[in-house]
Amino acid sequence: MLQVFEFRKVLLTYYVKSIIYYTIQSAKLEEWLSSPMIAEALKPMNERNFVDLDPIFNVNLDEDYDFRASGITRSRFCAVYGEWIAYCGARRGAGWRRRGGAGGGG
């Protein structure tokens, strides 16, 4: 039986994977990717050393938590979810555009 933290960690991982899946499968994905407003909002995350320091992130719960940076880094997120992103993109089919690669950390 899973302990409380293990159970929460599994649920959180499935939750993030669900968001990734439904985002990539959405009919609005191309619209979102071409939106200047969304591109501007995501610009800081393109920085090589970007760290999301939201206090809700927890080393015990988040698979992609980078303890060295005390938050979620792009490289750690891609290391954890990159294969899943690539899988979801492949399921989307020929219409999927790979921008910088699913597993690219920089």
pTM, two decimals, is: 0.80
DSSP assignment of 47-95:
STT-EE--TT--TTT-TTEETTTTEEEHHHHHHHHHHHHHHHHHHH-TT
Q: What pLDDT sits at residue 99?
A: 53
33-89: per-residue pLDDT in tens? 999 999 999 999 998 889 999 999 999 899 999 999 999 999 999 999 999 999 999
The mean pLDDT value for 27-36 works out to: 94
pLDDT at site 101: 47
Q: Which amino acid is at 77?
A: F
Give, as one character, the DSSP assignment of residue 45.
Answer: G
Band (pLDDT 50/70/90 cuts) for residue 11 is very high
Res 104 pLDDT > 50 = no
- According to DSSP, the residues that pair with 72 across neighbouring strands are 52, 65
pLDDT for 98: 53
% helix / strand / coil in the chain, to the nearest 5?
55, 5, 40
pLDDT > 90? residue 2: no
> What is the predicted pLDDT for the residue at 34?
95
102, 82 Cβ separation under 8 angstroms: yes
